[in-house]
Structure 1
Amino acid sequence: MFKKLRNRLLLMNLSIISILMLISFSTIYIMTYNNIHEVIKQDLFRIADFNKSDRIVLPKFDLLGGSMPVPTEPQIADNNMNTKENDKLPKERIAAFVIETNKGFKLSSWLSFFSADDTFYTNALANVDKTEDAYGDFDLDGSTWAYMVQKRPSGYVISFLDMTTQKDVLDRLILTFIGVSVVMLFVIFFISSFLTERSVRPIKEAFDKQKQFISDASHELKTPLAVIHTNVDVLLSSTDESDKKWLKYIKSEVERMGHLTNDLLYLTQMDGAEDHQMMKSNFDISEKIEHILLGLEVVAFEKEIDLTYDILPGVEIYGNSEQLSQVAMILLDNAIKYTPSKGSIKIKLYRSTHHYTLEIENTGEGIPEGDLPKIFDRFYRGDKVRSRESGSYGLGLAIAKSITEQHGGKLSCESLPNEKTTFTLKLKS
């Protein structure tokens, strides 16, 4: 139980920290991404401005009129150009180029800051989103190119800039975040595991003391109850018939207290039991259930209950046979107790996906919807008067639930008031 609590706390801590790291790293990445692309856009605007004839003399390749040598840098006109304008131009050689198109996005000329084949510019234009003010990027010849489309009176000017370095920076940033996250999660896992263990320890100690108290009290009660039970039997054998009814009342309550102490002891043992402490083996649960049903058929017949069952033969389960048989006995006994005369009980054992399922359905008053979440709680009884008359004190279903969970199974209940109640036990196949 405490192992599950520790694991849940550890998982909760790791989940919260993972979400916070994801939010933090995502925020940093988005801010870096936006800053890089903002700088790229500014550079693309500047590159597109090189294509203005009032500032730069452009040697171009014209598809209609022939070709001219392609310079590695744009030629800057000396006349009508002041020093401030010269300062705005790039001082280093950059991987960028500009393409001019007509209104139908057909290439008419280009200006490049590096040498390339003619087909390179045609392929670049083919990768462009041909809409006004489009911005994006694509991969070509082993590089990543950012582009921007700007409208001109004669058509469009598309500026291109090699952003391979910036893309590598973003990729390295992602890898860095992943690496840092993995390392941090490992470190946080060990720190959280240590702190969680220390946090759970006082709770475990308090629970162990409570469990020890219940165990000791139950053991102390068993001895006087046994003595009272023996003395009552002696008195019953020698007392007048008129006085025997009082002794029978005493004996009934002593037996009831004896069952209660035994169940309390059993629950405390189940709470502290680890999986390796339980004696488990493969056994035929179909045979066990059929054996239990043989003993209950007489009780069902006396109450005029229609008992029908469909048990899949040869179902083997890995677990403690005595404990799982006790679960089946508790559920079947519960069904017979709360099924009225002329009612019916249906038992079915079948295989479902990855599970063997035992369904026990009985007619009757059913369980109110508000009581369904509480029926597996200890000492909970929906109808306390009827429960006391039937000898129930609200521990049977709690024991069945505890045993089922120890075996990695699931026990649930569905009920339609004044119609039927169905208990479903699922065990791993």
Structure 2
Amino acid sequence: MFKKLRNRMLLLNMTTISVVMVAAFGFIYFITYMNIQTENERKLESVPRLAANPTGDTFMHRRQFTNSDEEMFIVRVPMDFSPSFTILVDRNGQMMDVLTHLDMPQDVYDEIATRVWKKQKEQGTINFENRKWQYKITAFEGGRIGLTNRQIPANFENVQYQIRFLDITDSSKTLTQLFVTFVIVGFIMLFILFGISYYFANRSIRPIEENWEKQKQFITDASHELKTPLAIISANTDALLANREETVASQDKWIDYIQKETRRMGKLLNDMLYLAKVENTGEESLPFDLSNTVKDVIASMEAVMFEKGIHLTHSIASEIIVTGEAEKIKQAVLIFLDNAVKYTSVHGKVDIVLKKHRNNAVFLIQNTGIGIPDEKLPRIFDRFYRSDPSRSKETGGYGLGLAIAKTIIERSGGTIYAESNESRTVFTFELKLK
């Protein structure tokens, strides 16, 4: 169940990340593509044209293939000039002349003009000579390129169109490299993000899984604890029913057993309800004097400790103000003291300390007696856990007291921990000072 939940979280997370990443990379690629296309269009429009009275020192050759002579025309060339040329053709697409500064054979120009003309598109791209060229076909008018009818050379009289070409190989490679980079980076990022998502998905699922297991264990333990008193009550009820003719007074023993187990079961149910209430509801947190609270709890337990012959020492710092639910924290202190009294042998010792340490109020309660084994110490705050089950039966405990105390302290923003060795046990909790 939890693996399915984790996998669904991973799928949702990776799908969301993939969509966002594709959208981001796609937007960047689209913007770059549009900028490059706009720049190419601008450069294509600035491809040098034939001019009658040009200025400047830059020039290009008009290679006239109708005879062996070469004529030179001075043309304007922009500063950001890219490899380009213009082919002049007649109405049938036959090449008449070329304006170029590139050294390519006549048949190459002828071939490219034929291929472009057959496309029957006014503009587009074409590949030849291992280069990519962008072209545009426009009508040829002598006046629009700075020539009068009197100045148009004889071999230009049949020219109807001019096809301008711009080398866009570099910009095309830039877009291709950008696309490949996005793909590679995308896969690497997805791989890394998958690992991170997998790690955090497991971390997110772990508390849920632990709580689920604790809940199952709680139900199992509660059922087990309730089963025993119910079995005893049932057995004693059967004993009563088997002796119907006897008087109530003569069957006092069975009735006492039933009452005793009923009280134990009632205490268990009350503890369970109290634990649920502590976890699921909260009272208003207000500042209160923890020193007075601890002193009140000690006063209420002094008679019990005296009867058991337990020696009590305490060191309570005055006016230690904390913020929390006063009654519940008092209940936690009472649980710790009651637990210490239960597990301290006759004529043993209990020591209580309340002090300030930096910004915290620190409460320690130490009792002598048989300690808690190291392997059992981490579970001491678990519900229904008892490090010594036989001892717990004697004291009537169910293993809920420390779980309740831990929940109270943690809900008040504090921390709690335990230490133990062969002869003593120490419980400590800390709360933030007001």
Q: State the TM-score, normalized to the length of structure 2.
A: 0.45
Q: State the TM-score, normalized to the length of structure 1.
A: 0.46
